[in-house]
Structure 1
Amino acid sequence: MCGITGWVSYDSDLTQRRDILDEMTATLSDRGPDAAGTRVRPRAALGHRRLAVIDLPGGTQPMDSADGQVTLVYSGEVYNFTELRTELSGRGHRFRTGSDTEVVLAGYLEWGEAVAERLNGIFAFAVWDDRSQRLLLVRDRLGVKPLYYQLTRDGVLFGSEPKAILANPLARREVGLDCLHELLGQTKAPGWALWEDMREVEPGTVLMVSATGSRTWTYWRLETIEHTDDLDTTVATVRELLTDTVRRQLVAHVPQGVLLSGGLDSSALTGLAAEVLPRPRTFSVDFSGQEQEFRPDELRATADAGFVREVAAWVGSDHRAVVLDARQLTDPSLRRAVVGAWDIPLGLGDINTSLYLLFRAIRAESTVALSGESADEVFGGYPWFHHDAAVSADTFPWLAFSHAINTDRTAVLRKDLRDRLDIEGYVADQYSAAISAVDHLDGEDGLERRMRVICHLHLTRLVRALLDRKDRMSMATGLEVRVPFCDHRLVEYVYNTPWSMKNFDGREKSLLRAATRHLLPDSVVNRVKSPYPTVQDTSYVTALQRQVADVLAGDSGAFALVDAEWARRAVALDAAAVTGPVRQGMERVLDIHHWVDIHRPVFTF
């Protein structure tokens, strides 16, 4: 994994602007702590920060074709690069390195932009072709690796993260009322990037920029295909796909590990990894005293720690539990690092800060880790998949299911902003657009039709937000996290499996449970879904109140958005009386405070 950035200008000589490219590239140093490189041509300047994983001495970037006419900057991993290398060698290509980067470059030289269709992996890359004077930006199918761009008067700026684009003086730092709709609505609108005029290259999409303008096209989308396999064959196929995917994703020239929460998803990956690695490293996160004093809530029925220990013993992993306390999690410098890593003030609080600390601890021992992200979206694991009111709601089901994070996200805003923001209308419009993209089979109706819609919403909307979170928190620590459940072959196959099979035993994730139960203890096979943990120590809430009070006492730019009276009421509450929504609101206030201070946005409302 790496960070990429660049600048194309058809009316300037960028050889005179190398200093700006260096500044853009430097913003991505956390994504690539091992090396930096730039290539500057009159019309195109490309920058790269490297996290070395495959072919440590040979994969340096930017990488040029043998004739110097084509330059590639690339972030990600291609898991079928060995097969592609063999095919390309048979077509006359000669390789100087053992890296997957050079395979992508050779693939472009052979197939042009169609190379993306041949790649199995997670990637975002840019190709500057001096012969045609055009730039291609390409993103993987599920959107695991981020890629942003901002069109300029005579070209484009791009980067793995918005901060790389914002480092260029041409970039606008404006945030308007429309920008806030998605920040608060949280529908993961395609292409949204918070900043005015900035966009995200959509998953499965190619953006081409030339002297005459730009255009985009989609090379992959979820297609609806009739599923003809019976249940036994379906379970066996899921098992085969998962086994092959994990085997492919455990190829690296650096230490590797597996994230283990004690749930079905991560435990299944751990079991599959143990079939490849003799003693896999596993890592979990927990909070001081949480196992002894755990209190079930609307999403979490059981604590993770006991299940983690059982799985680690079952597979014989080399396990490390990263145990955090409220003092660590409320360190303002930690929150600032997390907000700076994501460039967006989402207000997820300890769900993000603890993940960042977990990844930092893993990075001290491993460079690559497997994660169970997206299994819930693929196999139907969230509680709202099985909640009648959420299933039948005329909106995104994760917004219809009540929990602390999913509350009135406008509550902390100034009243004049709340009055002008029609969040309900925005969400309704996004929902209509999202469901219109779903294709159905002839004769598909009733529950099957509705569940296809819900599965499609999760795989094209919600999963993208969660993958972005995983990427930002991991890459901010220099850790590469791979996500086997995002293999497009598995996604395509399971998406087209009827809901009656996905739920054949009356449980969530029936197919995944059946395909991997031979690898796991019965306690984990039968465990009810439990999301990522959150700290329950009341001292955490007290620290939030103290920090919000400090923001109130200072001259914070956050109050361009935040209702100071709401913040005062939250601070005045007894800590034991603070509800989940109020706690979440304080997290948002503090994130906004740091975000404004870091990025200095210009508000245009």
Structure 2
Amino acid sequence: MCGITGWVAYQRDLSSHRDDLEAMTRTMSCRGPDAAGTWYARHAALGHRRLAVIDLPGGAQPMTVGTPEGDVSMVYSGEAYNFTELRDELRRQGHRFDTDSDTEVVLRGYVQWGEELVEHLNGMYAFAIWDARSERLVMVRDRMGIKPFYYYETDDGVVFGSEPKAILANPLVSPVVGRDGLRELFSFVKTPGMAIWEGMREVRPGEIIVLDRAGLRRRTYWRLRSEPHTDSREETVAHVRELLDDIVKRQLVADVPRCTLLSGGLDSSALTALSALHLAPQGETVRSFAVDFPDQDKHFQAIDVAPTQDTPYVHAVAEHLGNRHEDIVLDGAALSAPAVRRAAVGARDIPAGIGDRDNSLYLLFAAVRKHSTVALSGESADEVFGGYPWFHDDRRHAETFPWMARQHSGAQSLQGGRQVSDDLAAVLDLEAYVADSYRTAVAETPPLPGESGLDARMRVVSHLHLTRMVQILLDRKDRMSMAVGLEVRVPFCDHRLVQYVFNAPWSLKTFDGREKSLLRAATRELLPASVADRKKSGYPGTFDPSYVTAIQDQAADLLTAGHPAVGLIDERALSAATTVAADAVTQGQRMLLERALDLGTWFETYRPEIRV
């Protein structure tokens, strides 16, 4: 895992812009703490920061392979989990390798197959190849969008990077956020290809972008397909287990210490158990980590997406498997520290507004990184197998994104209520933006001929989660982990598993009358019964009153100082949220406090120009 950046300019000599490329590359130092490298040609420049995971002595980047027609150079971030098989195949085609890295396999795979290389890859990756033979840049992102990849078109080429901060370090790019950028920020919508910064875009999941002197061309090489599912229940459960065994085995390959992120839920517990199963023959014991908070049992408040505490279930799994486990306990003072918020906002490049859940994830990953370089996470299982509560209640029929809908019983949605000021609300018209985004997303769902009723609706709901919701969570997980040089792998995002489960009928996904029936059936015998039967409970937040008091005080300081961030949000509502008793702060008020502080930190760090 690494950080990549680069610049292609057909009307400039980029060898005279070394300072600019060095500045862009330095922004990726957290993603790649082990090594740095730059490469220059007349019209192309590539920068790389390396996190060494496979072939520690080799695999330096940017990497170049010579051919009779000219050089081919690449910067690469991610992992190709099938690189061993691909290397064997390329050797049969006559290629000779100088390293044991998967980077060289991908690069030589491009030399052999061109853009069709993508059909051979299994993994998470974002890479850019400068092909001097045709003076073209090829940018590729993995099928599920696990690894981030941004670009910015210029008058004579493109600037790109793993994160917006690399692009913003280029002198041609200014930190401007317009209306659509603000709409993305405040609506909890993640539009594929959209970045909040004006003029900046994302390479979409499963997309190839080719730049040459004629301009940019985009091609989608993978998307979810709707196909009839003909396997029986028993065959489906067996195939899910077969896929998971293969996926975990592949994703445990590394030349550095590995661990799992264990929440005590079905997803992470299943991965931890499968990891233990595969490591035991090698004489290894799984190491796992979980987040916890002081006196959580005393302060805990059940909410829709997190009805139970994690710790008892975490410890049940650790005892059952005999793995080496450690709880990372984070108190209110650590979570509310302004330096931690700066690190979290800086990692994401946006004021996401979820505060302690970002801050705690950053601190958790920083603690894990002291022991391991690679971690396996249960992220995305809910999107794949149908784990969220709104998959199973009236919200699944709402004419909006289900995670934004309200239950008829009145439960709060994830939006947590209104946040923006009256003036900004009138300009942004967030309701219309969300409605338009929803209609576009629904229209992208591939229909299955002859499917109707609940199965047809749940295909749409699943597709919404696998193309929209999952992007929010994957981006967060990548940014927070790579900010401390930790590579987090997400086995449930293997495209083979995603494609297969996507086409299983809803009745099969819920055959035991519950959420995630297929995953539970495929792994039940590996887990304590209490964990196998546990209801979905999301990543925990702290309920420590000292944390709430601290962010109330910090938000009050923003109001007193007349901070420019306050102009974007509902100032009266924020003022009310700062004065109510800490134990009486509602979920919506808590989210408003977090948003205000994230915005304040973002303004101070990025100094964005807001154009509305």
TM-score of the two chains, using structure 1 as the length reference: 0.98
Aligned to 2:245: 243
The correspondence of residues 250-329 of structure 1 with structure 2, limited to 5 A, is 250-278=252-280, 279-329=285-335
Partner residue, 2:371: 365
Cα distance, 1:182 vs. partner?
1.4
Aligned residue number for residue 330 of structure 1: 336
Q: Deviations over 1:62-112 (max 9, x none)?
A: 000034611000000000000000000000000000000000000000011
3-state DSSP class of the match of 2:595?
A: helix
Q: What runs of 5+ residues in structure 2 fail to find an aligned partner?
A: none
Amino acid at match of 2:443: S
Aligned partner letter, 1:407: Q
Q: CA deviation at 1:567?
A: 2.5
Secondary structure, counterpart of 1:268 in structure 2: helix
- SS of match in other structure, 2:7: strand
SS at match of 1:65: strand
Q: Residue by residue, what CA displacement relative to the aligned partner does 1:412-456 show, whole Å, maximum 9, x if unpaired? A: 323211111211111111111111111222210000000000011
Query: In the alignment, is residue 41 of structure 1 matched against residue 41 of structure 2?
Result: yes
What are the superposed Cα offsets for residues 497-523 of structure 1, whole Å, 9 maximum, x if unpaired?
A: 111110000000000000000100101
1:478 matched residue in structure 2: 485
Q: 1:6 to 1:560 in 2, by over 3 A?
A: farther
Q: How many equivalent pairs are there?
A: 603
The answer (yes or no) to whether the contact 2:574–2:589 under 8 Å persists in 1 is no
* CA deviation profile, 1:459-488 (whole Å, cap 9, x unmatched): 111001100000000000100000000000
Within 1, Cα distance between the matches of 2:582 and 2:231? 55
Q: What letter is aligned with 2:337?
A: D
Q: Is the Cα contact below 8 Å between 1:413 and 1:561 reproduced in 2?
A: yes
**C-alpha separation between the residues in 2 aligned to 1:120 and 1:517?**
27
The residue aligned with 1:451 is 458
For the 8 Å contact 1:258–1:370, the answer to whether it is kept is: yes
SS at match of 1:276: helix
**Which of the residues 390, 396, 406 maps onto 1:384?**
390
What's the counterpart of residue 437 of structure 2? 430
Match of 1:539?
A: 546
- Which of these residues, 336, 345, 350, is aligned with residue 356 of structure 2? 350
Q: Which residue of 1 aligns with 2:79?
A: 77
2:505 maps to which residue? 498
Relative to 1, partners in 2 of residues 1:51 and 1:405: Cα closer, same or farther, differing over 3 Å?
farther
Other-structure match for 1:21: 21
Residue equivalent to 1:407: 415
Following the alignment from structure 2 to structure 1, what is the Cα–Cα distance between the partners of residues 190 and 470? 9
Q: Decide whether aligned partners of structure 1 residues 408 and 423 sit closer, same or farther in structure 2, where only a CA change above 3 A counts.
A: farther
Match of 2:592 among 561, 573, 585: 585
Q: Is the 8 A contact 1:384 1:401 kept in 2?
A: no
Q: Does the CA-based 8 Å contact 1:558-1:593 persist in structure 2?
A: yes
Q: Which residue of structure 1 aligns with residue 398 of structure 2?
A: 393
- Asked whether the equivalents of residues 10 and 155 of structure 1 are also in contact (C-alpha less than 8 Å), the reply is yes
Distance 2:325 2:341 in 1: 27
The separation in 2 between residues aligned to 1:64 and 1:379, in whole angstroms, is: 41
Alpha-carbon separation, structure 2, partners of 1:578 and 1:275: 45
Counterpart residue number, 1:32:
32
Distance 1:118 1:560 in 2: 50
1:494-573 equivalences in 2 (<5 Å): 494-554=501-561, 556-573=563-580
TM-fit CA distance, 1:294: 2.9
Partner Cα separation in structure 1 for residue 335 and residue 166 of structure 2: 27
How far off its partner does 1:185 sit?
A: 1.6
Contact conserved, 1:3 with 1:75, CA < 8 A, in 2? yes
Residue correspondence of structure 1 range 170-249 to structure 2 within 5 A: 170-249=172-251
User: 2:32–2:51: 8 Å Cα contact kept in structure 1?
Assistant: yes
Q: Give yes or no for contact 2:194–2:201 (8 Å, CA) kept in 1.
A: yes
Counterparts of 2:587 and 2:471 in 1: how far apart (Å)?
25
- CA distance in structure 2 between the partners assigned to 1:289 and 1:408 by the alignment: 25
TM-score with structure 2 setting the length: 0.97
| Correspondence for 1:136 | 138
Structure 1 residue 57 corresponds to structure 2 residue 57:
yes
Percent identity, aligned pairs only?
Answer: 59
Q: Aligned with 2:66: secondary structure?
A: coil
**CA RMSD, 1 decimal:** 1.2
Instruction: State which drifts further: 118-127 or 169-178.
Output: 169-178
Q: Tell me if structure 2 keeps the 8 A contact 1:557–1:597.
A: no
